[in-house]
Amino acid sequence: MAASRRPLMQELIDAINEGDLAKLAPHIAPGFTRHDLVHAYPELGGSQVTDFIQSLRAGVEGLHLSIDHVIESGDEAAVWLTLRGKHTGSVFGVQGKGQPIEVHGVNRYRFDGEQIVETWQLWDVYGVVTASGGG
């Protein structure tokens, strides 16, 4: 049985929280594909991952991601996450007004060794809209 990928996932989340996105590059496989199940962002390839994360960090002051739960099977892991911070910019196409934000999501990752090959992401975009006074 393969070793748990939870420590790797925590390492990547910590890098995002710290803004040290260079730590992500060795773990993003060539040909990486990101699928956004609610189409809040376009499909992304490997080189665009840090751009996407930078846009989240720009839209959420003090962005902090936490891992809530992980289920692993073979070369895949499903990770439940919570994003917290102060919504000051655009997130999922919604402009913040400086209010606190808490958004829940689940990402499914497919790995090749220590590299992420593909991910499917589902986040509570409606929660972002309603927290911002929309919807």
Q: Which two tokens stand for residue 134?
A: 């929309």
For 42, 46, 79, 90, 100, the CA distances from 68, given in Å and listed in that order, are: 25, 25, 7, 24, 19
At 93, is the pLDDT very low, low, confident or very high (cuts 50, 70, 90)? confident
What are the residue ranges spanned by the domains of the chain? Answer: 6-131
Dihedral of the alpha carbons of 73, 52, 35, 97, in degrees to the nearest 10: 100
What does the radius of gyration of the chain's CA atoms come to, in whole angstroms? 15
Residue-wise pLDDT tens digits, 8-60: 999 999 999 999 999 998 999 988 888 887 766 666 666 677 888 898 899 99
Q: What is the residue-averaged pLDDT of the chain? A: 88
For residue 59, the tally of other CB atoms under 10 A from its CB is 22
The pTM of this model reads 0.86
Token pair 């102060």: residue: 86
pLDDT at 72: 97
| Second-level CATH architecture of 6-131 | Roll (3.10)
